[in-house]
């Protein structure tokens, strides 16, 4: 990919950016992580991601379903139940997220050192 095409993908208005914004927010990452382990019902997810509110979880699940990362399956029981499962695009995304998290774990000490240097300089300048 040439530099111009690569730069075009980074524009705020680019469709790629919208997709990244919708699937890489703090709740989506946690929900995807849980669903990669096994299918979950709504209340199971609420228990496993205790900081998320009901409205935020509902919004996150709808957004992930709309983007094809998860599927919503109605289970014909009494009472009827709904289960959320990871979809193939979500599974492949999870592998990428794991790589990114591994990179951040490896580089975090360097980042923290850079932050400390920056803060020391900015603090001295104030």
Q: What is the C-alpha separation between 33 and 94, in angstroms, rounded?
A: 7
Whether cis (ω within 30° of 0) applies to the bond prior to 79 is yes
Average pLDDT over residues 91-103: 88
C-beta atoms surrounding 69 within 10 Å: 25
74-78 mean pLDDT: 88
Q: Which tokens in the block code for residue 20? A: 């990244």
Average pLDDT, the chain: 89
Asked whether the predicted pLDDT for residue 29 surpasses 70, the reply is yes
* Model confidence, pTM: 0.78
Alpha helices in 49-87 (DSSP H): 54-66
* Choice among 8-17, 48-57, 62-71, 77-86 with the minimum mean pLDDT: 8-17
Predicted pLDDT at 96 = 87
Residue with tokens 């599927």: 71
**pLDDT confidence bin for 112, thresholds 50/70/90:** very high
pLDDT for the residue numbered 5: 57
pLDDT at residue 89 is higher than 70 = yes
The CATH number that applies at residue 103 is 1.10.10.10
Q: What is the pLDDT of residue 6?
A: 59
Beta-carbon count within 10 A of 59 CB: 14
Segments forming the whole domain that contains residue 83: 3-125
Which secondary-structure segment (H or E) carries 101?
A: helix 88-125
Other beta carbons within 10 Å of 65: 15
What domain count does the chain have?
1
Of 59 and 1, which is predicted with more confidence?
59
């Amino acid at each position: 990919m040439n530099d111009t095409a690569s730069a075009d993908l980074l524009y705020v208005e680019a469709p790629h950016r919208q997709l990244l914004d919708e699937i890489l927010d703090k709740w989506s990452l946690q929900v995807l992580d849980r669903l990669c382990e096994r299918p979950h019902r709504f209340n199971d997810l609420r228990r496993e991601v205790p900081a998320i509110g009901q409205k935020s979880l509902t919004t996150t699940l709808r957004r992930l379903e709309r983007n094809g990362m998860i599927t919503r399956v109605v289970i014909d029981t009494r009472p009827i139940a709904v289960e959320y499962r990871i979809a193939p695009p979500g599974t492949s995304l999870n592998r990428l997220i794991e790589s990114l998290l591994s990179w951040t774990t490896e580089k975090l000490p360097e980042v923290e050192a850079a932050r400390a240097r920056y803060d020391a300089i900015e603090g001295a300048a104030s």
